[in-house]
Amino acid sequence: MKLFVARLDYGVTSDALRTVFEDFGTVNAANVINDRDTGQSRGFGFVEMPNQEEAMSAIHEADGMELRGRNIVVKEAEDRR
DNA sequence: ATTGAGCGC
C-alpha cells in the first residue's frame, strides 16, 4: 500500500521519512519528492508499506503528527499522475 | 534558512 505524506518540513529527507514510518511497521520504500530543477524539497513524499494493516494504522497514527515542527498529513496515495 | 492545501519522471 502506498501512502502520500504531505506538509513535510523542507529539511525532512527520504531516510528520515522511512525512519518515522518504520515505527508503525515494515517500510518497503520511502521518498521525499524534490523539485527537479532546484533540487529543493517539495514538502511531500511517498511511503510504501507491504502490510496493509500496518499501513492503515500508520495513516491513523501518523496523520497530524508533528515532525520537525510541522504537522504532517498522511493519506493513501492516488495513482501516480 | 526557506514553508504550502500539495500525489514521485
Residues A67-81 as b/e (b if ≥16 CB within 10 A, e otherwise) read beeeebbbeeeeeee
Cβ of residue A7 lies below 7 Å from strand B: yes
| Residue A47 or residue A81, greater confidence | A47
- Strand B bases near protein CB (under 7 Å) are 1-9
Entry pTM = 0.93
Q: Which residue has the cell 505524506?
A: A5
Q: What's residue A72's pLDDT?
A: 96
At residue A56 the predicted structure's pLDDT band, cuts being 50, 70 and 90, is very high
Q: What's residue A81's pLDDT?
A: 80
Q: What's residue A45's pLDDT?
A: 97
Cβ of residue A2 lies below 7 Å from strand B: yes
> For residue range A13-41, what is the model confidence (pLDDT) as tens digits?
999 999 999 999 999 999 999 998 888 99
Grid cell, residue A24, equals 508503525
User: What structural domains does chain A harbor?
Assistant: 2-76 (3.30.70.330)
Cβ of residue A22 lies below 7 Å from strand B: no
Residue type, A58: A
Cβ of residue A25 lies below 7 Å from strand B: no
| Length A77 CA → B7 C1' (Å) | 6
